[in-house]
Structure 1
């Protein structure tokens, strides 16, 4: 019997790939690891992946309390 899954190809760097692997431990997200920068993931989980990667980027972004530079 043939099993068909709908998925998307995701291009990412190794850091994002590790985040997705961590998510995959909780929920089946990765269908196939294609190479160093591409994953074939479950289409239904794409939004969750985007949200989790955004959270990670927010947590690891350097922020200052300085006002933006003026254009004078």
Structure 2
């Protein structure tokens, strides 16, 4: 019997893919790991993955207190 799943192919760099794989440990949404830059994920999880990845990347982004070089 054939089993069909509705999903989305997600293209990302290897760093973001590692973050997504870590998120997948909590909530299983990856259907297939296709290659170094592509994942096939459950279509229902797309928005949640976007939000969680943006949140994690924002937390791990360096922010300087210095003004930009062109500001006086």
Q: Using structure 2 for the length normalisation, give the TM-score.
A: 0.83
Q: Please give the secondary structure, in 2, of the residue aligned with 1:44.
A: helix
Gaps of 5+ in 2: none
Aligned to 2:52: 52
Gaps of 5+ in 1: none
Aligned to 1:12: 12
Q: Using structure 1 for the length normalisation, give the TM-score.
A: 0.83
Length, aligned pairs only: 71
Aligned to 1:35: 35
| Over 4 Å off, 4+ runs | none
Looking at structure 2, the residues matched to 19 and 57 of structure 1 have their Cα atoms a distance apart, in angstroms, of 9
RMSD: 1.7
Q: Please give the secondary structure, in 1, of the residue aligned with 2:61.
A: coil
> Cα offset for 1:27?
1.6
Query: Once structures 1 and 2 are overlaid, which stretch shifts more, 59-68 or 39-48?
Result: 59-68
